[in-house]
Amino acid sequence: MSRGFAEAVVTRNPDDYIEVPPDALVRTSGQLWKLIVGTIAIPLPTLFLGLGFLGRIGPDQPRSEVVGSIGILFLAAASVGTLLSSVRCPSCRDPWVRRLMKEPDGLRAVSRFLRMRACPLCNHGASAGENPSA
Ligand SMILES: [Zn+2]
């Protein structure tokens, strides 16, 4: 009776959901926080701020407030860009997130990236003995 469920678990494609395993390279290299801050901690409050800003826009709004709000939005976008592009291979400095943005298959590429255990360029993070370049 639970066969259907078991089959679903076995056959599900790991590329279809997001998880960061404990031994994922982005976690072991100590850069997971950059992804969390760059994709959630800054963008979400910025989105609410932006929506609030759009709701207040009007002819009686002081110019300084408009300039300030736009400045904050630009600053947030710049911080996210800087933070995400600083997620790099600790060994060869390959910019992983920038590489990821060139991937054509979106969410699946993100999922693969979060699970990767070795740098796609230099194989950093692969356990000794499994390194083909050694
Ligand atoms: Zn590398």
CA atoms within 13 A on the CB side of 7: 4
Mean pLDDT by 10 residues, the chain (134 residues): 51 74 95 96 93 85 88 95 96 95 90 94 78 44
Burial class of 6 by CB neighbour count within 10 A (0 to 12, 13 to 18, 19+): exposed
Ligand 1 midpoint to CA 119 (Å)? 5
Ligand 1 midpoint to CA 62 (Å)? 50
Using the structure block, give the residue that is written with the tokens 């054509």. Answer: 104
pLDDT value of residue 131: 43
pLDDT value of residue 96: 96
pLDDT value of residue 65: 87
Helix 43-56 and helix 63-85: axis angle, to 10°?
160
pLDDT value of residue 4: 56
pLDDT value of residue 18: 79
The residues placing their C-beta within 5 Å of ligand 1, an ion, are: 89, 91-92, 94, 119, 121-122, 124
How many residues appear in the chain? 134
